[in-house]
Structure formats: C-alpha cells, structure tokens
Structure 1
Amino acid sequence: MSADSSPALLVQGGHELRGELRVPGFKHAFVTVLAGALTGRSAVTIDNCPAIEETRVLLALAQALGARVHENGRRVLVDPSGLTGQSLDPQLVDRIHGAVYLLPALLARSGRVHLPVAGGCQIGDEGSGARPVRQYAEVLQRFGAEVTVGPDGSLTVRADRLTACELDLRDWTSDRELRTGPLYSGATKMAILTAASARGTTRLRHPYPKPDVTELVRLLDATGRPARYTPEGDLLIEGRPDGGHGRPVRHMLVSDLITVVTWATAAALTRSTIRLTGLTPDRLATGLAPEIAVARDMGLDWQPTADTMDLTGEPPDAPVDVTVASHGIYSDSQPFFMLLATLAPGVSHLRETVWRRRFTHVPELRRLGADIEVTEARARIRGGCPPNRPDQSVAGGDLRAAAALLLAALAVPGQVRVHGAEHLVRGYEDLVTDLVKLGAHVRSEP
C-alpha cells in the first residue's frame, strides 16, 4: 500500500518516551456489553467506557432507536425501556462494524429489523476486504428468524418468535480442531445475544472464549438472563423474552487489552519507561494471558501488578513462533508482535489464522527497513532489523496497521510521514496526543 492523499502525521523518531497513562475499557467488550444491555429491561451503568468512535456511534444509534442514554465522563447509563425501531441509520452504521450486534435487541422488540452495510476496518478475506456476514444470518436462522442477505451485505431479519436451540460454534470455524477463523467470534456473540431473548435454554458448545464474550456473559447474568459455563466449557443461557428482572445493574469494563499491547510495544521500540494505570488486573491478566505468554517467550514482562503495569522499555531477547488464533493472541495484536520480532535476535515466525489477509502493514514496515517476508498467511521476520529508514511515507489501511506504523515511525532516527491516522479514532481515545504527552515528536501535516 502506498501513501495516499489523506492527511498525514509527521513523526520525528528517535526520542525516548516517559510518563504515565490511564488505560480505558476494552473496545470490543463495550460493543457486546452495550448490545447485551439493549436486549434487557434493566437500566445498565457501564463504567470505564472508552471515548472512541465505536462508543460515540453506538450510543448515537441507541438514542436514535429510543433508548435513554446519559454520559458522564467514562460512565454511561443506558436505559433500554424505550427501545423501538426497525432500521438503523446507514450513515452511522457505515462508520463502525459493531452495529451488527444491535440486531438481536431490535428483533426481540419489533420482530423485524434492517441492518445496512456495516463499516469498520476492511480486513476480510474478500478482495474488497469486506467483512463477512453469513455467520450472523446462519446463527439467527437457527433461532427461527428469517434472514435476507442483500447483494451489498445488508441484512433484513424477521422473527415472530425466537426459540432456544443448541449450537456447536465450531460450525463457524475454519479449523475445527484449532477452533479459529474469521466467523467464530461474531457467530458466538450473535448466538449469545439472540439466546438472551429466546424462549428456553440455549446450549452453546465450544464458544469463543475471549473477554468480549465473557464480559457479555457477566452482564446477561447480572440482568436476570442466567448464563453459566458447564464443567465441559459449554455455555448455557436461559432466555427471557420479558428482558430479565429489570433492576438497575452496574458493570465495570475490563481494561483495553490491545491498548496495553500497543503501549508495551511502544516502550520496547523506543527504549522507554511508561506506567499504565487504572487497570482491572485480574480480568486483564486473564484476557491477556496468550499475549503475556508470548511476551514472556520473548523475554518481556507484561504482568499487571495491582491496577498498574510498569513498562521498562527492555527489548525482546528471543525470537518466537506464534500462531494467531481465536484461542490464542488477538489478531489485533499481530502487527505489534511483528514489530517486536524485528527487535529480537534470530528469526521469528508468525501465522495468522483469523484474518488471513491482515498483512497490509508488512510492505510499509519493509519501507522503513524491516526484513519481513509473507507467504500466504505466514510471516517470517528477521530480527535485528527494526524500523530505521527515515524520509519515507507509509500508509495504514486499518486501525491496527495505522497504529503499528505510527509506533514504527517513532523508532526511526529521522522523519517519517504516516498516512491513515483517521483509522485510529475507532480504537484509541487519542493516541497521538498521548504520545506527545510522553515526549514523542508527532504533528499533523499542515
């Protein structure tokens, strides 16, 4: 991908960062928790909300559909009692991907809903990068809904009644044994949200295990839609078409895992000392366990202590062989581990099994001097070749690619122009301002 005509960031790299930053709540978990709140009757207070584009758009959609929303800093109160409507504003939906998870709430209320084409990062396996939607249609159909998928990827859904069922989520994996693939996470979330309003008890076998699901399960249980894991790892959800008990509920979001990975990578690249604060240590450590394990293999310590994490800027001292999978590190973490591997000695290998085309940052990193080869969905990274080539222009085509390239530019001793910064608002509150606060030399191109 070559630099485009979008506004650029001018980065003067080679400067040490130092300071303290507060980590907000997890973007992916906010999406599912809000969607889960809208399926019930309880007024839900969500604490630790991230001030990002996804939050702003989802709350605007909820308000437009009749829900009462009150924001107070990082705290949001959502009262779904007035939720109505059968269609979502296409201009809002086009800005994010998470709008798709509002379908079950609207379907339960109105019996019919139309979802225009959802936006978000174009990281799908199609040539256009469009995100798949068939998993949502198939899951809704298993609960008794009629679904029409438009040629543009829009969804029209009807259901007079939603009925509990049993699903094996491996049906939406590309590798049943590894339990991974681009449909698996979305299918699990859609199944849980639909089960909350269905009649009867739904059994979900082999559900996707990450915090964006476990946070949703906690929320449903708290709002009177009993949800629990069996000893075998199945998920049982008692549907309540009446929306649950209706009593007020409060939920504190887990810290944003990918923000933690981003700052840990920035510290290593720039040999900087950064303290992360405001963490939810137990749930963060559990959710980040695959990333923490890979970091440990590289000689890095990412373990949160109490509600803080001190990043000392030590570079990795060992190569790794990593498989990005739905039960492993997040696909969102992949560009950052690739960057870390350029610092490590030896040769690292990285296999992507979720979004197999998520390598648009590779040619851009090579422009900056990294030695990376990609064959199909596997990358070979030669260590000892970190970004070091100034006077280059690079462009990030999605949220995490843009963030990784911005961090890479910080390591280059000289100026680098980074395009694609407009993607950052979907996942970071203000990454550029935070970097400048820590001592980075970054400014918008005039």
Structure 2
Amino acid sequence: MEKFVIIGGKKLSGSVEISGAKNSVLALMPATILASGTYKIYNTPDLRDVKTMSQVLMEMGIDVKFESHVLTINTENISKFEAPYELVKKMRASIYVLGPLVGRFGYARVSLPGGCAWGPRPVDLHIEGIRKLGAEIDLDSGYIVAKANQLHGTKIHLDKPSVGATGNIMMASVLAKGTTVIENAAKEPEIVQLGEFLNSMGAKISGLGTDKIEIEGVDELHPADVETIPDRIEAGTFLVAGAITSGKIKIEKCNPSHLEAVLIKLEDAGCHLNIGEDFVELEAPDEIKPVDVTTAVYPGFPTDMQAQWIALMSIAKGTSVITETIFYDRFKHVPELVRLGADIEVNENVAIVRGVEKLKGAKVMSTDLRASASLILAGLVAEGKTEVLRIYHIDRGYERIEEKLQRLGAQIWREKTDEF
C-alpha cells in the first residue's frame, strides 16, 4: 500500500500536459472486439484502469501491448467470450465488453461490475438495451449471460442519458440487421469519439453529440487506428489545483470546448482565464468567490468534478451550494474534507459549503477516484502536512499525478504505508 504525503501552502506555477481520457480509451479498447485484426490506440494514458481492461481483453485471447502511450491490440485469436468477476469487480467499465461480444459472436458472459465504492450504479439500462436488440439475457450467479443468433435494429429510449449504456448499445448494434435509434442518448465527448472510431471501422452512425443517435447495421467492420482525446476531468482537476493554491498555471494538450461548464464556473469564482485552441491559462484571484454548482449530464457541470469543486469552495470567501443530480450519494469525500477543517453540511443530494480561512493538514482516506483528487487538492492548500491513504484509487484515473504536481511546484510524494 502507498500514500501521498503533501506539505501544503505552495502556489502552483508552470505548465502541465493533459493525458488521454480514461473514459474514452476504456470504451475504445472493447470496440476492437468487433473486427478481427490489429489496432493502435495512440495517446493512451498509463493508468490502473487501462491495465485492468487490458487483462479483461487478454483473458479472451486478445493480444495487448502497451509502449510509449501506444496501445497495440490484436483481436485475431479471440477464443473466450467471458469477463470474469476477479477483473470486472475492479472496474465498472469492464461491462463495455458485453455489447461487442454479443454483437459479433452472439454470446457473452460478463460479471456484474464493481469499481468505485459509492452508491448503487445499476446496469439495468445496458441489459435492457441489449435485450431490446433481440438478445436473450439471464442473470446467473452474479454474471450477465447474453445469447443471440442475430441482433436486430430497434428503437431504444434510455430513461436517463447513461454514457455506459449508450456506448454498449452502440457497439452491440453496429453489426445488427436494420437500423437502431437510441433516444435520450449521452452526448459526452467520449461517446462521440467512440462513435467516430466505429465509423472509421466501417460502421454507419449518425447523430453523435446529440440526444438521438442512429445506427444503420453493417455486415462487417475492419480494424482502424485512433488517438484518444484529452481527459477533460484531469484538465479540470489541474485547473482547480491552480485556483485553490492561488497559483498561475497553463494546461496544455487539452480540448477547452469539452470543459466549458467548468471554465465558466472558474471565471465566476474570480479566476482569470486565457483560452486557446488546445490550452487554458489560469491565474487565481486573491480570494475565491463562492459559486453554486449543480451537476448535470454533458454539456452541464460534470459529476466527476463535483468533489474537486467542493474542495475549492471550502476555502472560498462565503457560502456555496453544490447539488448532485447524477449520483445522489456521491459525497464520501465530505467527512474527509471536514477532517482537514472544511465546514460542509450535506442534506440528501445537496452540500452547503461555508468557506473557511484555512484548512489544516491531517491524515485522510480516499474512498473513490474523484474523492482522492479532492483530498489532494485540499492537501495542496492545507497548512502543514496531509497524508492521503488508499491512493490506488487515484492511480485508476490520473497518470502520475504527483509527478505532474511536482513539476508545478507542489510538495507531494509517495510513501509506502502499512495502513489500509
């Protein structure tokens, strides 16, 4: 086990490059199941979740190699159509193999997923979508077992615009007979990239980036290469790091158009921004203004930035209200921030944050990926020493975050620990 040790109080300055998007590459990787051959996925981040997905694919007989941020995948020898519990329990995105396996081979046995340790995140929308395409689905000893001789296009209306369900249904339907329409589809950039990748493989998908996606089934697909888009959540996290430390930083190799909701809120908080085509420069104000936030599906304020925003608001000059509308119970970081001296009150899906003059270092524990990020951010500004335990969560979605922060002037490092 490892922990982060942070000595707070350093203003961050300098530039940092943003890595490839975790949530994009985790969808691109299973899409390679859909056609036999060799693929290259460029700008792949070196993350724990990428390693887990690689293991899931290798369990099926797929050859996966990772070198210099290039993932090479050869799907010519797929021999097993199963994703086992031992791997799927580590990461919810493993369920992405369900759609392409059923779509191409007519069979899949995928464990019910695990991942971040907060709240129920049901996979009902995935299952119902695949079922509507004509698959017969049973739940057997914790596994989803799907069978179909041939999937058929249909109209599917999602009760909520789930990113995972939209992606899985898209991958299942590209080889189906006829046309599939997904209504109330997710609009996230990661879904747009997945659809564009599938189109480069020979799929016929239109409506990407809107709430109505249409997929005209084709007989076969072929391999293609792709470059992973920048990680908008990592970009947002580093911008908040600059703001919370009263710093001046530049994030490079990002896509500001994917960050609009976060950038607007940062400006509302008093930050001065200079936005280019692939960079954002941020200069923090002397005092952070309190800014209310309500999470929403893209292009709204992302739920994956909620914890980081609460950390920033904990040192704002006044009171802010953060409302979580995507995952109602996503506040496990709050008690840990309170240990650092934050004044936060949670009532159901609303957090009231009363800004304090300063946070003080303490020992805190990560509970999930984005909670880890919020604790690191708070530690950067807290007086004295902060220790963040269970940092394996952060390694799931941030590539060597401590090294990037060190280059910006932060005092943060890893240490071995016996504490869990």
TM-score by shorter chain over 0.5: yes
The answer to whether the Cα contact below 8 Å between 2:44 and 2:71 also exists between their aligned partners in 1 is: yes
Note if contact 2:104-2:175 (Cα within 8 Å) is conserved in structure 1: no
The residue that corresponds to 1:145 in the other structure is 135
- Whichever residue aligns with residue 73 of structure 2, its letter is V
Question: Aligned pair in 2 of structure 1 residues 119, 307: CA closer, same or farther (>3 Å)?
Answer: same
Contact 1:292 1:301 in 2 (8 A): no
CA distance in 1, matches of 2:199, 2:132: 22
- Listed as ranges, the matches of 1:138-177 within 5 Å are 138-150=128-140, 152=142, 154-169=143-158, 171=159, 173=160
How do 1:17-416 residues align onto structure 2 when only pairs under 5 Å count? 17-41=12-36, 43-125=38-120, 131-150=121-140, 152=142, 154-169=143-158, 171=159, 173=160, 184-229=162-207, 233-240=211-218, 242-244=219-221, 246=222, 248-279=223-254, 284-301=255-272, 304-314=275-285, 317-327=288-298, 328-383=300-355, 385=356, 388-390=359-361, 392-416=362-386
- The SS at the match of 1:374 is strand
Q: Which amino acid aligns with 1:139?
A: G
Pairwise CA distance, 1:315: 5.8
Gaps of 5+ in 1: 1-5, 126-130, 174-178
- 3-state SS in 1 of match to 2:328: coil
Q: What is the Cα-based RMSD across aligned positions, in Å?
A: 2.3
- Per the TM alignment, residue 307 of structure 1 is displaced from its structure 2 partner at its CA by 2.9
Aligned pairs, number: 415
Following superposition, the deviation at residue 316 of structure 1 comes to 6.3
Query: 1:386 deviation in Å?
Result: 5.7
Matching residue of 1:3: none
* Cα distance change on mapping 1:233 and 1:361 into 2, 3 Å: closer
Deviation at 1:100, TM superposition (A): 0.5
The answer as to whether partners of 1:200 and 1:239 remain within 8 angstroms in 2 is: yes
Write out per-residue CA displacement over residues 199-242 of structure 1, whole angstroms, 9 at most, x where no aligned residue.
111111121111121111111111110111189752111122x4
Paired residue secondary structure (2:399) = coil
Tell whether the 8 Å contact from 2:239 to 2:251 is kept in structure 1 after alignment.
no
Matched residue type, 1:160: N
Query: 1:298 offset after TM fit, Å?
Result: 2.2
- The CA deviation string for residues 333-379 of structure 1, in whole angstroms up to 9 with x for no partner, is 00111122223333211111111111011111112111111100011
Aligned equivalents of 1:231 and 1:32: distance in 2? Answer: 16
| C-alpha distance in 2 between matches for 1:235 and 1:317 | 40
Q: What TM-score do you get using the length of structure 2 for normalisation?
A: 0.92
CA distance in 2, matches of 1:371, 1:322: 17
Cα contact 1:387–1:408 (8 A) shared by 2: no
Equivalent position of 2:410 in the other structure: 440
Cα contact 1:292–1:303 (8 A) shared by 2 = no
Supply the distance in 2 between the matched residues of 1:301 and 1:236 (Cα, whole angstroms): 41
Distance apart, 1:294 and its partner CA? 2.3
Cα displacement string for residues 316-337 of structure 1 (whole angstroms, at most 9, x for unaligned residues): 6432222111131221100111
The SS at the match of 1:51 is coil
Conservation of the 8 A alpha-carbon contact between 2:256 and 2:277? no
The answer to whether the 8 A contact 2:93-2:164 is kept is no
- 2:166 & 2:289 partners in 1: Cα distance? 35
Q: CA deviation at 1:400?
A: 0.7
Which amino acid is 2:106 matched to?
A: G
Question: How far apart are residue 302 of structure 1 and its match?
Answer: 5.2
Q: Shift of the alpha carbon at 1:293?
A: 2.4
For 1:278 and 1:314, locate their aligned partners in 2 and report how far apart those are by CA, in whole Å: 24
Determine if contact 1:316/1:340 at 8 Å carries over to the other structure: no
* Divergent runs of 4+, >6 A: none
Contact 1:25 1:48 (8 Å CA) reproduced: yes
Report deviation, 1:31: 1.2
- The residue matched to 2:109 in structure 1 has which SS? strand
Structure 1 CA distance for aligned equivalents of residues 210 and 96 of structure 2: 27
| 1:434, distance to aligned residue in structure 2 (A) | 2.3
Judged with a 3 Å threshold, the aligned counterparts in structure 2 of structure 1 residues 230 and 343 are, in CA distance, closer, same or farther, namely closer
Q: Residue type of the partner of 2:262?
A: E
Deviations 1:84-122 (A, max 9, x none): 312124322222221100112222343222112323112
Deviation at 1:395, TM superposition (A): 1.1
Residue identity over aligned pairs, in percent, reads: 28
Report the CA distance between 1:405 and its aligned residue.
Answer: 0.4
Q: Contact 2:195/2:208 (CA < 8 Å) preserved in 1?
A: no
SS at match of 1:219: helix
Superimposed CA distance per residue, residues 3-35 of structure 1 (whole angstroms, 9 cap, x where no aligned partner): xxx643322211233333221111101111222
Contact 2:206/2:213 (<8 A) preserved: yes
1:151/1:291 CA distance change after superposition, 3 Å: farther
Indicate if the aligned counterparts of 2:118 and 2:332 stay in contact, CA closer than 8 A.
no
